[in-house]
């Protein structure tokens, strides 16, 4: 049974969602604010989080950022009234796995959680990811190679040269040969989204890269770089 933590400040909706999720077979802990989440959340046992963003004691975006910066592998589904495209992009960039507006029906939430469980059930990237610079490809452990653009190679080289560490946005931009002061930061965000999508579409597994919002990115698997 998957253990799920639900963060929703509206009491009636929280109770309805908790009942629905329990009926789906999840073990649910439901809280109404960030303080309650931090008090109850246990990285060793909670596998999925369903999070609202607009909360009485802060913004749920900060919680997503905190979880990812600390390296937690928990699956995150945002369920919020903030359903605009810019909010969705920001939420996914922060590290949410899925982003749903509260206008979504419960069947869509159930299907999203089922997809997330399949994703979480895949083995974590514990083997070595190999970046081949000359051949411009990425070799995930036990998987086929992913063809890369030169920009992909440059970005991954910057990240995989320091696995487990946050590489600043400025360092990545400079590696790309750009002037950080005049560089449009949205270009880097787009680059990372394309890389992640390429891994998902080619292999069906996530790229082991965490986002530290407005700070940089980190490659959290074992890495090897070949010329």
Q: Give the CATH number of the domain where residue 63 resides.
A: 3.40.50.2300
State pLDDT tens for residues 110-156.
999 998 888 777 555 457 899 999 999 999 887 778 899 999 999 99
Confidence tier at 43 by pLDDT (50, 70, 90): confident
pLDDT of residue 55: 95
pLDDT of residue 125: 47
Q: Give the CATH number of the domain where residue 156 resides.
A: 1.10.10.10
Tell me if residue 78 falls in helix, strand or coil: strand
Clarify whether residues 132 and 116 are in a common domain.
Answer: no
Range of the domain at 219: 128-226
Structural domain total, the chain: 2
Closest CA to 64 of 102, 98, 114, 111: 98
According to the 3-state scheme, what is the secondary structure of 110-162? Answer: HHHHHHHHHHHHCCCCCCEEEEECCCCEEECCCCCCEECCHHHHHHHHHHHCC
Last residue of a domain, one of 92, 121, 150: 121
Q: How many helices (H) and strands (E) does the chain have?
A: 8, 14
| Mean pLDDT (whole number) for 183-212 | 84
Last residue of a domain, one of 60, 88, 121: 121
CB neighbours of 198 closer than 8 A, spacing ≥ 6? Answer: 146, 152, 207
Clarify whether residues 15 and 85 are in a common domain.
Answer: yes
Residue reference for tokens 């069947």: 107
* More confident call, 60 vs 203: 60
- Model pTM? 0.60
Q: What is the mean pLDDT of the chain?
A: 89
- pLDDT higher than 50, residue 189: yes
Clarify whether residues 27 and 68 are in a common domain.
Answer: yes
Clarify whether residues 111 and 157 are in a common domain.
Answer: no
Clarify whether residues 188 and 165 are in a common domain.
Answer: yes
State pLDDT tens for residues 149-181.
999 999 999 999 998 889 999 999 999 999 988
Tell me if residue 51 falls in helix, strand or coil: strand
Positive or negative CA dihedral for 99, 102, 103, 105?
positive
DSSP category for residue 199: H
């Amino acid at each position: 049974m998957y253990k799920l933590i639900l963060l929703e400040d509206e009491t009636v909706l929280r109770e309805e969602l908790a009942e629905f999720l329990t009926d789906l077979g999840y073990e649910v802990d439901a809280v109404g604010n960030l303080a309650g989440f931090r008090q109850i959340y246990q990285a060793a046992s909670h596998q999925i989080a369903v999070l609202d963003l607009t909360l009485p004691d802060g913004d749920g975006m900060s919680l997503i950022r905190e979880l990812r910066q600390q390296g937690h592998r928990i699956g995150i589904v945002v369920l919020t009234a903030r359903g605009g495209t810019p909010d969705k992009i920001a939420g996914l960039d922060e590290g949410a796995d899925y982003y749903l507006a509260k206008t979504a029906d419960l069947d869509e939430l159930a299907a999203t959680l089922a997809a997330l469980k399949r994703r979480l059930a895949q083995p974590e990237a514990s083997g070595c990811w190999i970046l081949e610079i000359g051949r411009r490809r990425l070799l995930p452990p036990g998987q086929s190679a992913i063809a890369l653009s030169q920009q992909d190679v440059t970005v991954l080289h910057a990240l995989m040269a320091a696995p487990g560490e946050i590489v600043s946005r400025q360092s990545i931009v400079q590696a790309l040969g750009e002037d950080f002061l005049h560089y449009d930061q949205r270009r880097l965000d787009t680059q990372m989204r394309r890389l992640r999508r390429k891994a998902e579409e080619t292999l069906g597994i996530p790229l082991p890269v965490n986002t530290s919002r407005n700070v940089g990115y980190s490659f959290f698997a074992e890495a090897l770089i070949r010329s």
